[in-house]
Homo-oligomer: A and B are copies of this chain.
Amino acid sequence: MSEKSLSHTKWMKRAIFLASLGKNTTSPNPRVGAVILDKNGSLISEGFHFKAGMPHAEAMAFNNLKNDAKGGTMYVNLEPCCHQGKTPPCVDKVISSGLKKVYISMEDPDERVSGKGIKLLKEAGIQVNLGLCKKESLDLNKAFIHRNTTKKAFGVLKWAMSIDGRIALKNGKSKWITNDESRSLVHSFRAEFDAIIIGGNTLRRDNPFLTTRGSKNPEPLRVVFTKSLDLPSKSNLWDCSKAKTLVIYDSSTANESYLSRIPKCVEVEKVLSDNPELISKILAKRGCNKVLWECGPNLATAAIQSNCIQEIITFIAPKILGGENSMHPFGDFEFEEMHEVIKLSNSQVSLIGNDICVKSLCKN
């Protein structure tokens, strides 16, 4: 690699680093960082997108300019937008600034942009280089890209089990399988998500809070999917002062008279079947890039079957629960042969005290 292209890579990596500062806060927007050099190649500004409604990375970089950008170069990890959203189109600013070159890692998968921003830049005589550090940029915004290309939220399924694969005793007791450290890690990593999904059984059995315990503000949306609507009239999820809650119910099976048990502060949506894809689509439409499924075996099985799960996080505690009818992470996939089973990949293993945490990709 030449010294010149090494230098381009260096600046794009800086833009990607800046983008990563918006880690858990940009949804429904992507993570974007921008770097501006003057015509002599000196750094004169940088910016990143922090939160929807706040300036885009390019806009922040133009706001922060120390010198004239005319004849200069911009590095940005995502194609600049060309539509009026909550903030004005960035392409206009790039063109009016007099920049000569723009390095862009990847096209914006958002169909309102998707190549149109690049086209406008080129038409204005700006040299556009597309594809630098594309792999890193794809990874940085994988949830945003997934939502835009599939119209479903990027799903991560999490469960905690004993080393013999049980998520509860046969009487349903499960407090606690994993150690304090693992459970507190779960609270804090919920901050990476825009929504946390459980099923009616988990609500009835565990009555969870599903919050980050203050790591994220506002807290992720708490979502309950229920087939029956037979939910308790008292529940930690009904306290909307901590976090918002959304109940999604299957109107083909639910008893709508139970709706009266749910307080007014909780949003309610109905779907026409129990296909988890419908939940994922509703959440994607609401701008949730990345959602965490913390559900029991039935919903987890259906979520995998309907391609709602892209990653898996398993906490394994060094305990043996046993039990013929103890609860397991999944129900039946109806596999008849070993070659049919679901294969995970790219597993990363870490130790959380005496628990083991395994993260894997799930390509169904």
Contacts and interface: CB of A to CB of B under 8 A. Distances in A.
Interface in A310-352: 312, 314, 316, 318-324, 328-333, 335-338, 341-345, 347, 349, 351
A296 B163 CA distance: 15
A345 B349 contact: no
A268 interface: no
Nearest to A329: B164
B304 A320 contact: yes
Contacts of A345: 318, 354
Contacts of A188: none
A301 interface: yes
Nearest to A173: B338
Contacts of A356: 347, 349, 356, 358
A229 interface: no
A332 B304 CA distance: 28
Interface stretch (A86-94, A174-182, A208-216): A174-182
B316 A316 contact: yes
A319 B332 contact: no
Interface residues of A, number: 48
A36 interface: no
B318 A323 contact: no
A161 to B, nearest CB: 6
Contacts of A351: 349
Contacts of A314: 163
Nearest to A335: B169
B336 A165 contact: no
A163 B319 contact: no
B335 A322 contact: yes
Given A166-B165, A349-B351, A351-B349, A341 B358 contact: no
A148 interface: no
Given A165-B166, A319-B343, A356-B358, 8 more contacts: A165-B329, A169-B336, A171-B336, A175-B338, A318-B345, A322-B332, A323-B331, A347-B356
25 contacts: A161-B164, A162-B165, A163-B314, A163-B358, A165-B166, A165-B329, A169-B335, A169-B337, A176-B338, A304-B320, A316-B316, A318-B343, A318-B344, A318-B358, A318-B360, A320-B342, A322-B333, A323-B331, A323-B333, A323-B335, A328-B328, A345-B354, A347-B354, A349-B349, A349-B351
